[in-house]
A and B are shown apart, each in its own frame.
Chain A
Amino acid sequence: MKKKSFAGTLYTVLILFFLYAPIAVMIVFSFNAGRSTSVMSGLSFKWYGELFRDRATINSLVNTVIVAVISSIVSTIMGTAAATALFRYKSNVLRKSVLTVTNIPMMNPDIVTGFALMLLFVFCGRALGIQKDLLGLPTLLIAHITFELPYVILNVLPKLRQTDPNLFEAAQDLGCPPLRAYFKVILPAIMPGILSGLMMAFTLSVDDFIISYFVSGPTSQTLPIQIYAMTKRDVTPDMYALSTIIFLVILVMLMLYNGISSQKSPKKVRQRHR
């Protein structure tokens, strides 16, 4: 199986080409001297300067980061607690029904989730007589936490299943109060799940457009919404410049991560052999 077949390699390369062609276009046009995203009229770095001058973009970038940080932290804490509780429910029916509800935001199309939340906010706003500033940062946060929670729970639950229940009981037998035992024993064991849940929640929040589109107000535009508004008129290459920067940052981060974990992995293999 180890031998590399030529056809296989070709196939992989073709798909990678398909995936990266638009990104290459973006990177090339971010250096366009003209304002077009379809006609190249010379090379320049001016859109990178323009990007940092454009306050609306910077504002929405800040909003995006604020929403992502707050919502991912809240959803991780709430989700971890929920997963712990779910794991220990004695009633099978209860656990199953909670899990089904948890699955809804993942199975439902984003457009329905967004629309439904918007209806809820509009309805409540009317009932409470709030006319102004109904949709804004708070509603955006609520929506983001809601769609992030299932991902956190689904990342934490498998780790909980892997922990040895005896550990927890042993700690209690040794006189450790349950809450302390939880923080000392269970939490470290499920930490990888929590972290990957946090990462996932953060990524989803940064990337979300559809749900945010329905529940954001004028003062809480996030980057994807700003980009959407821009693609409604003409996208100037400064957006491509931003994407290029993001692309490079993530590329470097992933490569570093990759480098670190590939250094670690040979040790793991050796351990297993013993």
Chain B
Amino acid sequence: MKKLFALLLAVLVLALPLTLAAGAEGETAKDYSHLKGTTLNVYNWGEYISDGSEGSLDVNAEFEKRYGITVNYTNFESNENMYTKLKNGGANYDVIIPSDYMIARLAQQDMLEELDFSNIPNYKYILDKYKGLYYDAEQKFSVPYTVGMVGLIYNTKMVEGTPDSWNLMWDERYKGDILMFNNPRDAFGIAQCLLGQSVNTTDKAEWDAAAAKLAEQKPLVSSYVMDEVFNKMEGGEAAVAAYYAGDFLTMYDVNPDLAFVYPKEGVNFFVDAMCVPKGAQNKEAAELYINFMLEEDIAVANANYICYASPNKLVLESDDYDLKDDPILYPDESAMPKTQIFELLDEDTQLYMNEKWNEVKIESGNNTGVYIALAVVAALVVVFAVVKIVRGKKRKAMY
């Protein structure tokens, strides 16, 4: 039986050059039939894949159909969330899609599996400028999925004029209508850009200054959000928000009153890339999946659906790609904002940043009213208790 299988395999291998010649460009040449029936755990950001809703291509279903591999697809909310799940050991994932600085951190802590690029032939379609970036200089662990920048989203019906500065998020006039990032790296990034610092500073005084800036902003902020921003901006529940450029296009589809700008102080530029975490149980299928995501049809479907800029040549040259000339995703030289990338912070700075962020968040403003009220309640309880005890004693004395 085994022999027969080997023979069959040999025939298949021999036949491969033929099928490759006959098949369309980009078709994978290898035989993956032995992966049939296995499961692939994919862990990605929310709303970050073409999922078949409203007539789009269901990418995961397509993968399953083609290879017979079941895709178990789950979401995370932020890089830090994903890191925790991995680190706590509670999770088993085959493909993850974190951002640059998080990839550097995972790589540094030996939490990523080296990719076998011979299984990912489509890697050649990635634009050269996105290869070998600092977070993965030797290009061992990651394949870029999307690239993008952070920017300022505002509602033209609520904001006067055309803003061009992060200062808008510190503007008293929009008190209670401002949405800020709910993760330390992005939130500090904005304050640091505004203060003219490097987002990768190791100077604690600079972090203190940025934290003070965030604390100053807090009374004006309606809430700290991640993807909740979609509903709030679409529904006109807030005037100003900082978020990722690609997501603005999704919101704009629903609410055309929204507008977007790259503030002059500079913005964060990021790359989200596909990686395989250490100990993945289905690495071969993971590489197959990564390769699959780079195919023209799939990548175009994703780029059209999630609206982030694509690092894939095939997408940029495709006629089916609707956002090819979008000035926000692909600004030309003159409109290109100043950008900074998040580098890996050393352990010490990272802890310091988390601590400062925590302080910003728990500072709940003026609570004197609450304290007084609680004190009154406590006093009442004591009085009540004393009265009861005294009464109880009296009653006892009576008997």
Residues of A participating in the B interface, judged by any CB pair closer than 8 Å: 34-39, 50, 53-56, 121-122, 125-126, 130-135, 217-219, 221, 229, 231-236
Contact = CB atoms under 8 A, between A and B. Distances in A.
B234 A36 contact: yes
Nearest to B93: A218
B226 A232 contact: yes
A218 B52 contact: no
B231 interface: yes
A38 B281 contact: no
A135 B87 CA distance: 13
Contacts of B281: 132
Interface string B275-290: 0000101000000000
A233 B93 contact: no
Residues of B contacting A: mostly: loop
A100 to B, nearest CB: 24
Given A218-B72, A219-B41, 12 more contacts: A36-B234, A38-B234, A55-B61, A122-B89, A122-B90, A132-B279, A135-B91, A217-B90, A218-B92, A218-B93, A219-B72, A233-B75
Contacts of A126: 89
B379 to A, nearest CB: 26
Given A218-B74, A219-B72, A229-B75, A39 B235 contact: yes
B67 interface: no
Nearest to A133: B92
B282 to A, nearest CB: 12
Contacts of A35: 54, 254
B254 A36 contact: yes
B46 A135 contact: no
Interface of B: 41, 43, 46-47, 52-54, 61, 72-75, 77, 85, 88-93, 226-228, 230-231, 234-235, 237, 254, 279, 281
Contacts of B46: 229, 232-233
A122 B84 CA distance: 12
Given A50-B53, A218-B41, A218-B43, A234 B90 contact: no
A125 B47 CA distance: 32
Contacts of A232: 46, 77, 226-228
A50 B231 CA distance: 19
A15 B393 CA distance: 42
A37 B61 CA distance: 27
A218 B91 contact: yes
Contacts of B43: 218
28 contacts: A34-B254, A35-B254, A38-B231, A38-B235, A38-B237, A39-B234, A50-B53, A54-B53, A56-B73, A121-B90, A122-B89, A126-B89, A132-B91, A132-B281, A133-B91, A134-B90, A135-B90, A217-B90, A219-B72, A229-B46, A229-B77, A232-B77, A232-B226, A232-B227, A232-B228, A233-B47, A233-B75, A234-B47
Given A53-B52, A217-B91, A232-B46, A131 B279 contact: yes
A120 B275 CA distance: 30
Nearest to A39: B235
B89 A130 contact: yes
Task: Give the 4 A-B residue pairs with the shortest CB-CB distance, closest first.
Answer: A233-B227, A135-B90, A38-B235, A233-B46
Contacts of A125: 89-90
Contacts of B53: 50, 54, 236
A134 B227 contact: no
A53 B234 CA distance: 25
Contacts of B73: 56
Contacts of A221: 74
A36 B251 CA distance: 11
Contact of A233 (B41, B74, B228): B228
A8 B228 CA distance: 41
A235 B7 CA distance: 52
Nearest to A231: B228
Given A36-B235, A50-B53, A219-B72, A234 B230 contact: yes
Contacts of B54: 35
B92 A122 contact: no
Contacts of B226: 232-233
A232 B226 CA distance: 7
Contact of A217 (B92, B228, B279): B92
A134 B90 CA distance: 5
A134 B41 CA distance: 15
Nearest to B41: A218
A234 B89 CA distance: 28
Nearest to B230: A234
Nearest to A34: B254
Contacts of A36: 231, 234-235, 254
B238 to A, nearest CB: 12
Nearest to B71: A55
A180 to B, nearest CB: 46
A37 B228 CA distance: 12
Nearest to A37: B231
Contact of A134 (B77, B89, B228, B279): B89
Nearest to B60: A55
Nearest to B73: A56
A186 B73 CA distance: 49
Contacts of B231: 36-38, 234-235
B89 A233 contact: no
B255 to A, nearest CB: 9
B39 to A, nearest CB: 8
A132 B92 CA distance: 5
Contacts of B230: 233-234
Contacts of B74: 218, 221
Contacts of B228: 231-234
A236 B234 CA distance: 13
A79 to B, nearest CB: 28
